[in-house]
Chains A and B, each alone.
Chain A
Amino acid sequence: MTSWVRERLGAAGAPAMLEGGPSFAYVFGSVLVFLLVFEGLTGIALGMFYSPSTTDAWGSVAYLQDQTTWGWLVRGLHHHGGGAIVVVAGLHLVQTAVAGAYKKPRELVWWLGVLLLVLVVVWAVTGYVLRWDQEGYWANRVELGIAAGGPFGAQIQQVALGGNDHGNLSLTRFYGLHALLFPVLVGALGYLHVKVARRHGTTPVRANRTAPRFPDQAVRDAIACAVALAMLMGVVVAREGVELAAPADPSQSYDARPLWYFRWLFELRELAGSAEKLVALAAPAIVGGFLVALPLLDRGPSRRVRARLPWLGGLAGLLALIGALTMMSFARDANDGELAKRQERARAVAARARELAKTHGVPSSGGQDVWLAAPGARGRKVFADNCRGCHEDVERRAPLITAGHGDRAWMRDFLSDPSGDKFWGRTQLVVSQPLAEAWKDSWLEFLAPELSPMPAMNELDPADMDAVVELMYAQTGATDVDAAKRTAGVKVFGAVCSDCHELAFEVVGQGGPNLVGLGSRAYYFDFVGNPKHPLYMGPDRSFMPRFDAELSIEDRAAVADYLVWLRTATPQDLAALDGP
């Protein structure tokens, strides 16, 4: 069987040989190829969920992360797989350098390798922004800001962004770069790199020994790949994948941090102070320049480590510096208590955003509006901007409007003490009452405002109270109405309330508001539009301004929705709506 396959594959001839015998030192290249293929595989899975537009990007990633089986795992593997590539590429580079494999005639292989390393790192940058969360968005702004400082910076920035600012074109572009251009580019250059390296063969340490690549080297490669995969899985599971921050929001500041393999540059910028612009571009140029120049500088024929100590020392020094800067950057963050607090808050915001996306979906206007997806949320926003000062804050001067507004308990409380602090207590209806009464019997009578606050109904027989509460509750449009009680309530209403109030459509009450549909969406919508309408408070009894010109129809409807929502909301629901 094996021989049949080998024959068809044209592999039946002499097996490929490895000069100098197999070694674990040679596994890094194979592991890199494996990891790149692995990124391709996981990338395909991500691509089947991802939607590259400013309105959908975050939502699609949040969906994959929180609403699919193993979506978080694949996303985590893809993200940390990128980090693994940088690590293994670093090891590959060090191994090659130590072996002196960059020397004549292998310079081209080395240079291709350096180029590939740069490409892989830029490739990661193009992927980081795609999630369109605060993290990716702000990191990308900074990265492009750095790029803009370099030669042809403005042009590079415009081409990368697809115009003048972050938008739909930026995401489609970065997606195109990340998922189409870079795979092809790195694939082609990588193929060339391997092809040329194979032609040259290894730089054998032990002479006079040769072994077939398969299985002698292949088994080592396979073991290394297995170890790499196991470590990657371990990291991803231990870190529970990769975080997803709140949706990108240009109005909210965020402590953006670059991917960990850029941390050394990040720290260098911090240290450089006013010279940061120069440093941000010069440092990578120096490191890259050193790597490119290495085969030209270290030209001696000897590959012995001893003979090349200065050059290897230089490389080791650079790597140690990068390592130290990286650690310093993480240490700086770890020692920053304020930062920790802000990050804690950012995590809470992210958790809330994802929770909302999961339960209510992301509005089609985009991830930044995920806060408005919950029932009542749109109206809450309008209410907070327009109504809260009078109706909710400590120094309010109008009836309190909060969770439970309009439910049975609220109605009962109101009927028992309409002039209480929670109800008309702080309004002119009650506050100006003594004045009105004093004026009534004096020659100022004609000035006395017609303020008749509603009398308390606590003398009502409990059954009658129940009935009238049910009747009022039924006006809200609630579906859990006790029909018998409600019918009884109509009688009580006729006896007790109808002197002032009306329960027929469009009929103005004698001194009190019409109560048809009280607490329903339509009632709130109309009332908020014009509370001084004769059907409601009438022209003199309320200070509440009209909102029909003030608010758009959508906003007024949203407030009405919010008020209806309050009826069944708990204080916790309300707190949750305001978010962290």
Chain B
Amino acid sequence: MSDPDRRKFLSIATCAIGGGVGLVSVAPVLRVILDPAGKETVTSPSAPLDLGPAARFVAGEPPRRVEVIAPVVKDAWTAARGVVLGAAWVTRIGPRPGDVDARSAICPHLGCGVGYDPAQNNYLCPCHDSRFALSGDVLSGPSERGLDALPVSVSADGRLLLTWERYKIGQATKERA
């Protein structure tokens, strides 16, 4: 082989070996970095959460804000106890224990925490002033849908159980996030 030919071959060989080394080095690193994609790394409980005795929600009283607390949340490696997942506004809407309305306090507009405005007896989101009736319907402001109702039930011993769910924000239809 002439010198230029040999050098050409060596150049190609160098690049090929170098490329191979690079690939083998980078592949496992990339694979691991991408591992969490598509995984449920934070699992919040799908089981209903105890909000205390249903009887403490009384007809005619202003809505009560309850913190939704999960007994255990698995967050990657941690099993955290008593984790606050969010808040819900709860009102009594009928005489039977289960006649209770619970609304997620997450604003359907862009996700701020919705508060209760005692002056007007309705809900007000502080971020962009969306206002919601106690029924949850939008009264004014940019939100495209009303406050999201959360599934509730009452246990045999009269405790209010709530299933915590998150919904997509910024759209007119209610859809699980």
Contacts and interface: CB of A to CB of B under 8 A. Distances in A.
Interface of A: 34, 38, 41-42, 44-45, 48-49, 56, 59-60, 62-64, 67-71, 73-74, 77, 212, 214-216, 218-219, 222-223, 225-226, 229, 233, 357, 360-364, 373
Contacts of B29: 41-42, 44-45, 74
Given A222-B14, A225-B18, A70 B32 contact: yes
Interface of B: 7, 10-11, 13-14, 17-18, 20-21, 24-26, 28-29, 31-33, 35-36, 72, 74-81
Contacts of A222: 13-14, 17-18, 21
A421 to B, nearest CB: 37
A361 B79 contact: yes
16 contacts: A41-B25, A56-B78, A62-B77, A68-B35, A70-B31, A73-B28, A214-B14, A215-B10, A218-B18, A225-B17, A229-B21, A233-B24, A361-B72, A361-B77, A362-B79, A364-B78
Contacts of A363: 78-81
B32 A215 contact: no
A24 B24 CA distance: 23
Cβ-closest 8 pairs across A and B: A361-B79, A59-B77, A63-B77, A215-B10, A222-B17, A68-B35, A215-B11, A219-B14
A11 to B, nearest CB: 13
Contact of B81 (A63, A357, A364): A364
Contacts of A216: 7, 10
- Interface residues of B, dominant DSSP: helix
B26 to A, nearest CB: 7
A226 B10 contact: no
B78 A41 contact: no
A360 B79 CA distance: 7
A56 B79 contact: no
Contacts of B76: 60, 63
Contacts of A64: 32
B52 to A, nearest CB: 15
Given A222-B14, A373-B79, A229 B24 contact: yes
Contacts of B26: 41
A350 B141 CA distance: 57
A62 B76 CA distance: 10
Nearest to B74: A361
B80 A364 contact: yes
Given A77-B28, A219-B10, A48 B33 contact: yes
A41 B26 CA distance: 7
B81 to A, nearest CB: 7
A70 B78 CA distance: 20
Given A56-B77, A69-B35, A74 B11 contact: no
A218 B24 CA distance: 19
A402 B106 CA distance: 47
Contacts of B72: 361
A226 B20 contact: yes
B9 to A, nearest CB: 9
A45 B33 contact: yes
Given A73-B32, A216-B7, A218-B14, 16 more contacts: A42-B28, A42-B29, A45-B28, A45-B29, A56-B78, A59-B77, A68-B32, A71-B32, A73-B28, A74-B32, A222-B17, A222-B21, A225-B18, A226-B21, A362-B79, A364-B78
A45 B21 contact: no
Contacts of B20: 226
Contacts of B36: 68
A60 B75 CA distance: 11
A226 B78 contact: no
B35 A215 contact: no
